[in-house]
Structure 1
């Protein structure tokens, strides 16, 4: 049965053997191997949010998060790159000319993206874009880079009719940017997260998209707040990594002896810690998926997600963050000295999970912003 007959939910299962086989090469090469990237591309793993007419799944956000979590259980770096490259919704924002250009070579353009804002200056036929973006995952394997930039006018940010800075998305081909090999990190080595420099590059109007107008493609997935299709993916990944850590400890515990005699699996402390951790992960997972389903439901009605719904999504993400961190620490402790051995799965899962939890989408200000919304205040966070 093909991926398209079975749907995207089977992607992690179908690619499991390839992902596991590439683990050592990812660590050593500090990037996803080209062979694995090609398998991911061929399977449709980068088309989760791409419109159907371009060969994509156009899958609901709830489904997409389940896929990210599934990959997170296999490997954090692979899951992270799959999440970061799923920018196929860009076709719903760009005009026909821009879409035709980006998708000229087929249904699987690979996108890298960065969220730190650059600067764009209006020029004839488009914009002159400049900026430096750090830790851009998957950029060396990408065909396109999509960045956020603030449109400047007379040396200051140009304002929209709503009085907010004019922030847009800019798509650049791989040959328009420079990549600096700066990805010397402690975890998720396989993401190839390097620095990108763009210096006064022309981006034509057809490759520039806006957030503050309705999507060109008016279907359920694209009716709502487009950034909501991006934000929660990292949280789904860390939930998968944390669950994998539990699974590895359970496997280890049957043979690992304790100071007091017997195996770790026979320890009441280990039994309670594992049960508590799995219950907490399942609750956090259900909360995140429920918040995503609410966003999906708004799209099905042809409505944008409300501020309250977006706040609930961010709160669910922050909750998943807290739970995943607690579970990873608990499993690391249960593993004892085995958790510090290179080559032990728990050691790598802990490293990878903690690095993933450092993503800006997981930071406390987002939980504070969700609380402000509950009290009737402006969230005070861009693109919330």
Structure 2
């Protein structure tokens, strides 16, 4: 990652760091706060502020709202760059980048959200809550688990299903009415549940909302770009919106696995076996390292290619096909499988070194395994992609 910190201009006229330079720019602050974040099981306030001030949370925000409106393939490189430094920070950056909702919401809502001196702080959850129509808006309720960065967030972007007479309201397309809903900090409570072994610095606690009134202009259909004009009509937002979110976690695990590989390469040059030879002299070590490097690079290229296809379709104004979306999900699951295999193989290769807390390989392994537990990395999306290949419906939400 280049250490050159190029700048550009935002809509507000302020200078902004080139997104690709952000991981290198913020590395010292991230590394200085790493142990505190792990100990506290949450992101330190100073580090969160540094990330926000540098622009790490406005990658997908429209330029009209002061964001960098960064292409998806570039955003994935940024996420991977953070993943190579610290998994928890990368996860927070991914989860906080929900500024694209500004392209969907009415201007009355964006004025309240962005009408402050600093960048709004988002958290999000794709688990569905419920929204019941009420005069002027909706009554929203839900219990969202594992919401990363919630203690630092000012706004929660949650998926809700609109209910009528206790059942999902159906759209003209015959599907449940699923909306993105933005809630303010005073509308939810946090349950401190994040007592885990990996990705501790994300502070991914539970969130509860009980019958909160949300004005209608703070909700937007999740498939709005496919069915209706955008308020801020830019190519980045014209495709299938979940594709701006879904592959971010996969880019992060590729970064974690790459960092583990880099650490292992440095280790085997000095670590010796029982005969006194370095591990680097072993043909098995040489094979494992070369094989892992090739596998990660191939998985990275496949993920980038699938994302680029969707990005190109949006820029042309084409509706992304189900097959294109399936290719992205298949690439994500494949990259997750490669990353898992790489982490396990390198953990074994490093032998007892991998056991010690304070050793970076130990931290990368437990953080990587935690990130790979995300639902996006399960076998279900690959099964859904297989159904699409067979001409069937995917049978999976947000696909």
TM-score by length of 2: 0.94
Q: Deviations over 1:306-326 (max 9, x none)?
A: 111111110110110000000
CA distance in 1, matches of 2:65, 2:143: 31
Query: What is residue 299 of structure 1 aligned with on the other side?
Result: 314
Which residue in 2 is equivalent to 1:247? 262
Matched, 1:133 2:148: no
- 2:132 is matched with 121
Question: Where do 1:225-374 residues align within 5 Å?
Answer: 225-374=240-389
Q: Give the aligned partner of residue 49 of structure 1.
A: 60
* Matched residue SS, 1:89: helix
The answer on 1:81 being equivalent to 2:96 is no
Aligned residues: 384
- Secondary structure of 1:294's aligned partner: helix
1:206-261 CA distance string (max 9 Å, x none): 11011233232221101100011000000000000000001111111122111233
Q: 1:106 to 1:297 in 2, by over 3 A?
A: farther
Distance 1:213 1:233 in 2: 21
Work out the CA distance in 2 between the residues paired with 1:362 and 1:15. Answer: 27
What whole-Å deviation, never above 9, does each CA across 1:353-374 have from its counterpart, x for those lacking one? Answer: 0000000111111001111111
Alignment of 1:157-172 (within 5 A): 157-172=168-183
- Contact in 2 for aligned 1:47/1:107 (Cα 8 Å): no
**SS across alignment from 1:376:** coil
Contact 2:198/2:367, CA 8 A, preserved across alignment:
yes
Q: 3-state DSSP class of the match of 2:323?
A: helix
Q: 1:30 aligns with which of 30, 41, 45?
A: 41
Distance (Å, rounded) in 2 between the aligned partners of 1:225 and 1:277: 32
Partner of 2:239: 224
Deviations 1:173-219 (A, max 9, x none): 11110001100111000000001000000011111011233232221
Q: Extract unaligned runs of 5+ from structure 2.
A: 9-15
Change (3 A) 1:299 1:107: farther
5+ residue gaps, structure 1: none
Assess if the C-alpha contact under 8 Å between 1:55 and 1:107 holds in 2: no
Q: What's the CA shift string for 1:28-76, capped at 9, x where partnerless?
A: 1111111111111111000100001111110110000000000000000
Task: Tell me which residue corresponds to 1:100.
Answer: 111
Q: What's 2:202 paired with?
A: 191
User: Which residue is 2:161 aligned to?
Assistant: 150
In structure 1, distance between residues paired with 2:17 and 2:294? 29
TM-score (norm 1): 0.98
2:218 corresponds, among 204, 207, 211, to 207
* Structure 1 vs Structure 2 CA RMSD: 1.1
Contact 1:3–1:44 (CA under 8 A) maintained in structure 2: no
